[in-house]
Amino acid sequence: MKKLLQLFIAGIILSAILLYAIQAMNESQGYSGENTLTIYNWGNYIDMDLIKQFEKETGVNVIYETFDSNEAMLTKIQQGGTTYDIAVPSEYMIDKMREEDLLIPLDHRKLPNLNNIDDRFMDLPFDPGNKYSIPYFWGTVGIAFNPELLPNKTFTSWNDLWDPALKNEILLVDGAREVIGMGLNSLGYSLNDTNKQHLQEASQKLETLTPNIKAIVGDENKLLMQNNEAAIAVLWSGDAADIMWENEAIDYVVPKEGSNLWFDNMVIPKTVKNIEAAHQFINFMLDPEIAAQNTEYVAYSTPNKAALSYMDEEMVNDERFYPPPELTEKLEVYKNLGPKMLSYYNDLFLEFKMHPK
Amino acid sequence: MGNKLTRNLYMIPYSLWIVLFVIAPIMLVLYYSFFDIEGNFSLINYQKFFTPVYLKMTLSSFWYAFLITLISLLFAYPTAYLLTKTKHKQLWLLLIIVPSWVNLLLKAYAFIGIFGQYGMANSLLEMIGIGSRQILFTDFSFIFVAVYIFIPFMILPIFNALNELNPSLLDAANDLGASKWTAFRRVIFPLTIDGVKSGCQIVFIPALSLFMLTRLIAGNRVITLGTAIEQHFLVTQDWGMGATIAVFLIIAMFFIMFLTRDRKRGV
């Protein structure tokens, strides 16, 4: 008993010392000081050199944390106890966060660089007047395919996926809106359609695609495509860019019927501690040269019009990632359809997944 | 008197634990299951559970869980038996348990590599002349990986039961003229049935709600109740429906515990 007690006390003393050491270390790095900025972003979604540059220019200490899904980010901000000054949710999540009063309105006077953003990407339905959010990167949903594995096949339309020759070749992304949206688009409907008859039609059409589907996966699609395990994947353009970086044979196309246009956006969540630095950071990232450097690192499409002139020409002229106006017109941003409709989409998707091969 | 007091004192951590981490969560799950997606009190989730989609899902979950348990048992029993006959039992046992210390996700990713088009499994098939085929994202790969993950939990209780078996009982059976098979059927198996039961419980119940493997290894071609719960909590944010499925899983769990309960012998 005595020995146990001694061990217990030793444990407590050791923990206290460690706690003190952490405190001391944080202080020496200025973390507990006033001037810190906590950024909550997707993994590998910023050029870390830029953070160093920002720290140097402003004297603000940056703490950088990452998340891997909008839902995980939402939960952490909802629960409180975090001090995130900047977060980067996707557009459909902004709607939700706004409804739940989790966002702080932006002060546009503190963001002079805002006029660098392309007008096309301002004032979008998920955030009228950009009251709460500034687009960070944007992209599409499309078809990535490997011509080396599929000689003589070209893809221009969603309906090309229904080709019987593509048996067991296609990877779909595990998202209800993306897959049902693809069904709707292939029939010429809007991917925000709420007409149940259209949705039924789309899901029936999707069921006829089952023989061609290899799997419905998440982030693993990148790995599978890179290693030539699968020939075709329906995915986000950002993921396509990553794959093409690793495996040069792969090509990406946005189908002509139209597709989804998505945005990741910088916001200030209500967990903010340093509003001033948060605005400073957003403005910093909107600077054309900074945005250009960041875009060349991340390789997603930037909404920053002024940045394009600082970027590698080959990248800017790549129509797969900066589609021409005829196509951009057909791209749609997801509207918040409300929980009931979303749940209907998900039920259809679940049924589709369970459809026997 | 003092004795009783200390005993009651000792009960405090245990009861606190049970109330906070067992009873309260189950109550919460039950509570949430009565709300529809808009937060109104209703029984719609239960009604929805009895539609073909969810019933089919339940059936297929049970079917896969059953297959996983059965195959685990078929491999685990002889393995456990063999283990009790080896010289360094503890070492062999350790070797079987060690893989279960590795994170599930890592093991799943390893299998994606092994079962892939250019993976080890296909190279082997190629070598023995069968030729490469699709292994990943099939029922086979799903059940194989699930069995691989669960089998240590099946071996362990069976091993313990076999290890405690008094060898003189076998000698007695032998002396009384029982053949090897009869001895197994009438002596060994009945005496180790408790190990088999607890092994089946430990494997069947988690197998019923497997979710990560259904995506990583089965490519969402196998949909279990666990997948649906995950979707409802994370994607649709329809906590009510997710909770309702969880309620049915809890009921299923109690049912299985009841089926495999310890009956007092000699009654």
So what's the pLDDT on residue B235?
78
DSSP B183-247: HIIIIIHHHHHHHHHHHHHHHHHHHHT--HHHHHTTTTSS--HHHHHHHHHHTS--HHHHHHHHH
Tell me the backbone φ, ψ of residue B37, rounded to 5 degrees: -65, -20
Element (H, E) at A233: strand A232-236
Question: Which residue in B234, B225, B221 sits closest to A353, CA to CA?
Answer: B221
Residue B249 to residues B23, B37, B257: CA-CA distances in angstroms? Answer: 16, 20, 12
Q: How many CA atoms lie within 13 A of A329 on its CB side?
A: 3
Element (H, E) at B161: helix B139-164
A174 and B215 in contact by Cβ < 8 A?
A: yes
Q: What 3-state DSSP class applies to B125?
A: helix
Tokens 């009921």 appear where?
B251
**Residue B43, domain member (yes or no):** no
**Residue B42, domain member (yes or no):** no
Span A145-161, pLDDT tens digits: 999 999 888 899 999 99
Confidence of residue A1 (pLDDT cuts 50, 70, 90): low
DSSP B27-77: HHHHHHTTB-TTS-B-SHHHHHHTSHHHHHHHHHHHHHHHHHHHHHHHHHH
Residues of chain A contacting residue B234, judged by C-beta atoms under 8 Å apart: 69, 71
Q: How far is the C-alpha of A351 from the C-alpha of A96, rounded, in Å?
A: 26
So what's the pLDDT on residue A31?
54
Distance between A71 CA and the closest CA of chain B, angstroms:
6
So what's the pLDDT on residue A69?
83
Confidence of residue A63 (pLDDT cuts 50, 70, 90): very high
Token representation of residue A93: 């999540």
Number of domains in chain B: 1
**Residue B265, domain member (yes or no):** no
Range(s) of the domain holding residue B112: 51-259
A229 and B117 in contact by Cβ < 8 A?
A: yes
Report the amino acid identity of residue A108.
Answer: H
pLDDT over 70 (residue A130) = yes
So what's the pLDDT on residue B73?
96
Tokens 């951590």 appear where?
B13
Residues of chain A contacting residue B220, judged by C-beta atoms under 8 Å apart: 174, 215-217, 353
Q: How far is the C-alpha of B237 from the C-alpha of B241, rounded, in Å?
A: 9
**Residue B8, domain member (yes or no):** no
Q: Which domains does chain A have, with CATH numbers?
A: 35-137+263-316 (3.40.190.10), 139-261+324-354 (3.40.190.10)
**Residue B33, domain member (yes or no):** no
Closest Cα in chain B to A357: B221
**Residue B110, domain member (yes or no):** yes
We report the CATH number of the domain holding residue B60 as 1.10.3720.10
Residues of chain B contacting residue A354, judged by C-beta atoms under 8 Å apart: 53, 56-57, 60, 223
| Whole-complex ipTM | 0.84
Span A261-319, pLDDT tens digits: 999 999 999 999 999 999 999 999 999 999 999 999 998 999 999 999 999 888 889 98
Q: How far is the C-alpha of A60 from the C-alpha of B117, rounded, in Å?
A: 49
DSSP annotation of A311 reads S
Out of B56, B137, B236, the one facing A342 most closely (by C-beta) is B236
Q: What is the CA radius of gyration of chain A?
A: 23
Average pLDDT over residues A162-167: 93
Residue A134 to residues A20, A99, A126, A297, B257: CA-CA distances in angstroms? Answer: 40, 17, 11, 19, 54
Percent of chain A whose predicted confidence (pLDDT) is above 90: 67
Residue A221 to residues A174, A270, B9: CA-CA distances in angstroms? Answer: 10, 34, 55
A217 and B216 in contact by Cβ < 8 A?
A: yes
Q: What 3-state DSSP class applies to A309?
A: helix
Low-confidence ranges of chain B (pLDDT < 70): 1-2, 263-267
Span B98-124, pLDDT tens digits: 988 999 889 999 999 999 888 899 999
Tell me the backbone φ, ψ of residue A320, rounded to 5 degrees: -70, -30
pLDDT over 50 (residue A331) = yes
Whole-model pTM? 0.84
So what's the pLDDT on residue B129?
86
**Residue B13, domain member (yes or no):** no
**Residue B156, domain member (yes or no):** yes
A227 and B118 in contact by Cβ < 8 A?
A: yes
So what's the pLDDT on residue B2?
62
